[in-house]
Every structure is written in C-alpha cells, then in structure tokens.
Amino acid sequence: MRFLSLLFLLPLLVACDTQEPATGDTSAVATFPETGKWIDLTHNFDENTIFWPTAEKFMLETVFEGATEKGYYYSAYQFCAAEHGGTHLDAPIHFSEGKQAVEEIPLDNLIGSAVVIDVSEKALPNPDYQFSVADIEAWEAENGQIPDGSILLIRTGYGQFWPDAVKYLGTDERGEEAVPKLHFPGIHPEAARWIVENRKIKAVGLDTPSIDYGQSSLFESHQILYEQNIPGFENVANLDQLPATGSHIIALPMKIKGGSGGPLRIIAWLAE
C-alpha cells in the first residue's frame, strides 16, 4: 500500500507546539494511507453548543457585516466562551497542579492512531454508566492489546443526542442547582487507574461532556489520567463513523497559554 506523508501540515502542527523539534525529529508528522477520507469529529460552535451548566455559553457578536463605503463586502465577528464547552480539550493542569497547560502538551500526544471502544449498548440504556476495565478486556479479547501510543476514544452513543441538552446532559437547567441533575456516561476511576498502570496511551476522548460520569462529585478519573499528563477530549462528535481500529487522529486545540483547556478541532483520517 502506498502512503502519503502529511508534511504539508508540519508548519501548522509545529505552530501549536511549545518546543522546537530536534533536527530530523518527525515524531509529529503522521503518515496515512493515500486513499481514504477525513471525518470531522467536532461539533459546531454556535448558540446551541452545550456547555457545563455553570459555564458561560458561546456567544458570537457581529462587528461588521455588509457592503463597505468603498463598495466591497466585509464581515468580522468576535466571540466569547468558556474554555470547557463544545468539542474541547482538557489539559492535564485542569485537574492536576503543575501538569501540562494547553500550550505545553506535546504535539505527539495529539496526533496518532485511534482505538475506539464502543459501549453504546450498555451506556444508552443507562445514563449513569461508567466505562469499565471489563469493557477494555472485552475489546482486547476481540481486537488485541491496545497498542502503545494509541489515542483511546470511547463511544457511548450520546453523540446522537447533540445538541439536546436534556438528553445529552440530563437537564437543560443552568447554574449550580443544575449540577446534581447531570446524567451521562463517563470513565470509572478503576478503569482510569488500570489504563495508567497497564497501558501507554497518548490521550483519551469520548462523546459526552466529561471524562467522569455526570453524577461524579470528585472527578477522580480526571485526576488519575491528568496526573499522568494524559489530556482529554470531551464532546467528540461522529464516533459512530470510526471503526474499532484503523483511523488516525489529529486533535489541535486553540493554543491558550496557561490554559486549562480550549476549543478543539479534532479530525480523523479513515483509510479505504
């Protein structure tokens, strides 16, 4: 099979890194099969974008739109949003003091082959479902051990409910009083601990608003994963379009210096 090196992306990718690669270092450059398709795993940011009940929602304001005095069309806008909402990155510092902020995450942790574990048959009937060690073991029994350096994506099926907040979050209420009413699947702390002790993954993502399930009050899975500088991708879209193995991920966040997270444009290359 012929392969196409994505060297044309290198200037863009390096722009999101904090350290210049050593001479001859191509670890941030992915090689994908020449024939295939790109899949967008990112929800739009607009007035319907789902945010945590206590976070400021996305707002887009018009600066100018229309014909100018000189006769040409011009449009410009400004936006405001919390770091954590819509399809976004959690930097490790979000729940682990002294760990990587957004701009400190190596590009190599944001680019790589994906492993997709589908637990939708369990999670859709149970909004409080927590991804378990047994789910990993069942997947590995069928597909083999999760390769080192993989990006682990967990499909709960909740992406189909976007942007219906009641179905996706468990409530469309806003404010602190809404937090106890959140119901959606996440990663069980035991599974998070097993992953960091037994596998070497670059990042983890899922199609729900949080790494921890909606009823979590301690966010233990966040703490366990982020302590190991494993970033998280939340509110990932279109995971139903990815196979268990064989897709390749590029996940580039807005480069917010010192940020605990930020909007994420995540895409997948799927070979044909």
* Residue 124: predicted pLDDT: 98
**Cα separation of 160 and 266, whole Å?**
17
Q: Is 161 exposed, middle or buried (0-12, 13-18, 19+ CB in 10 A)?
A: middle
Helix axes 133-143, 189-198, angle to 10 degrees: 50
Write down the pTM of the prediction: 0.87
Whether the Cβ atoms of residue 186 and residue 214 lie closer than 8 Å to each other:
yes
pLDDT reading at 3 higher than 60:
no
Q: How confident is the model at residue 31 (pLDDT cuts 50, 70, 90)?
A: low
Question: Is the confidence at residue 1, as pLDDT, over 50?
Answer: no
> Is residue 52 over pLDDT 60?
yes
**Residue 228: is its pLDDT beyond 70?**
yes
Residue 259 pLDDT more than 70?
A: yes
pLDDT score at 33:
60
pLDDT of residue 25: 43
Q: What is the mean pLDDT of residues 25-45?
A: 75
Q: Pseudo-torsion of CA 201, 245, 45, 88, nearest 10°?
A: -10
Fold (topology level) of 3-55+83-271: Glucose Oxidase; domain 1 (3.50.30)
| The predicted structure's pLDDT at residue 32 | 57
DSSP E strand boundaries for 55-95: 59-67, 73-80, 88-90
Mean pLDDT of 39-53: 97
Band of the pLDDT at 35, cuts 50, 70, 90?
Answer: confident
d(CA 161, CA 212): 18
Lowest mean pLDDT among 12-21, 157-166, 249-258: 12-21
